[in-house]
Structure formats: structure tokens, C-alpha cells
Amino acid sequence: MADQEPVFQIQRVYLKEASLEQPNSPGILLEQEQPSVDIQLGVEATPVAEGIFEVSVTATVHTKIKEKTVFLVEAKQAGIFEIRNLAEDQLSQIMGIACPQIVYPYLRGNVADLIQRAGFPPVHLSEINFQAMYEQQRSDAAAAPAGTLTQ
């Protein structure tokens, strides 16, 4: 029965996608005002093969002065994980909490590096409690009545 042991292994962590836009440069760089910073995060998990999953964390960092964009960075860091012999609820927790916790530090470093290489002070993404985020998503999903469309 050794083949029924739970398996959790990292196969690879990689930067899947990254983009940087500075649509109002160079003029916006002469502004003295502090920009506003909006950061959005997302997590998604996709089956790749039997027992193999890709889990990705996406960050969007949008900085603006007044209504003009200073820069917009979008990055997606992903990992390939082998996850086998777990109950469905355990699998969901691993992909919603443990995998993003492994991938996220790489995303933080890549986003800060990309912004700094673009000539701006680095924006450091804060630590994320993926367990709280996962539990919030689960409670939001449970609170939505089945068959209801949200707009």
C-alpha cells in the first residue's frame, strides 16, 4: 500500500508572464506628486496531467498620478506541483494555500526587480496570508446562492 502515500512535490517554479508599461513617460517622470499605487493579486490552479497541477499567482501593480498612469506591471509566477493521494478538500487547500505560499516569494522578487530596472523605486508586495484569502473565497462561494448570476 506504499503507492497510496500522499505525495506533494515541487516540480518547477517559473516566471510565466511579465509586462511593464510606461505609457506617459518621459513627461510623467517630471511630476513631483506622489503616485497612488493599486495592487491586485489572484491565484489559479489548473490540472496539467494526472496528479500534476500548475498553480499561478498573478500580481498587477498600477501606479498613477492624478488620472495618468506612471507604470503598470503585470506578472504571473507559476509552479508545477505533483499532488497525489489526497482527499478533495485537502487537495483544494494545498492548491489554494501551500502552493501559492511557495510561488509568491518568487513573484515578489520579480515584480520588485522589474519595477526597479524600469528606473523606479521598487514596490515591495506585502506578505499575504493565503490561508485567510482561501477561507474568504470559500465563505464567499458558500454565501452565494446556487444558480445566481452576479454582475
51 lies in a domain? yes
The three grid cell numbers given for residue 143, joined into one nine-digit string: 454565501
Average pLDDT, the chain: 91
34 lies in a domain? yes
Is residue 143 exposed (0-12), middle (13-18) or buried (19+ Cβ within 10 Å)?
Answer: exposed
65 lies in a domain? yes
At residue 121 the predicted structure's pLDDT band, cuts being 50, 70 and 90, is confident
Residue 30 and residue 18: Cα distance in Å, rounded? Answer: 26
Domain count, the chain: 1
Give the sign of the dihedral formed by CA 88, CA 94, CA 100, CA 102: negative
Q: What is the extent of the structural domain holding 127? A: 2-141
Q: What's the CATH number where 35 sits?
A: 3.10.420.10
β-pairing, 7-21 with 68-84?
A: antiparallel
151 lies in a domain? no
The three grid cell numbers given for residue 54, joined into one nine-digit string: 500548475
CB 21 within 8 A of CB 48: no
Number of neighbours of residue 15 by Cβ within 10 angstroms: 14
148 lies in a domain? no
Q: Is the pLDDT of residue 149 over 60?
A: no
The three grid cell numbers given for residue 62, joined into one nine-digit string: 498600477
98 lies in a domain? yes
91 lies in a domain? yes
Tell me what pLDDT residue 1 has.
44
Tell me what pLDDT residue 37 has.
93
> Can you give the pTM of this predicted structure?
0.86
Tell me what pLDDT residue 90 has.
92
Alpha helix positions (H), 1-151: 88-93, 99-117, 130-143
30 lies in a domain? yes
State how far the alpha carbon of 4 is from the alpha carbons of 11, 90, 98, 145, in Å. 20, 15, 21, 36
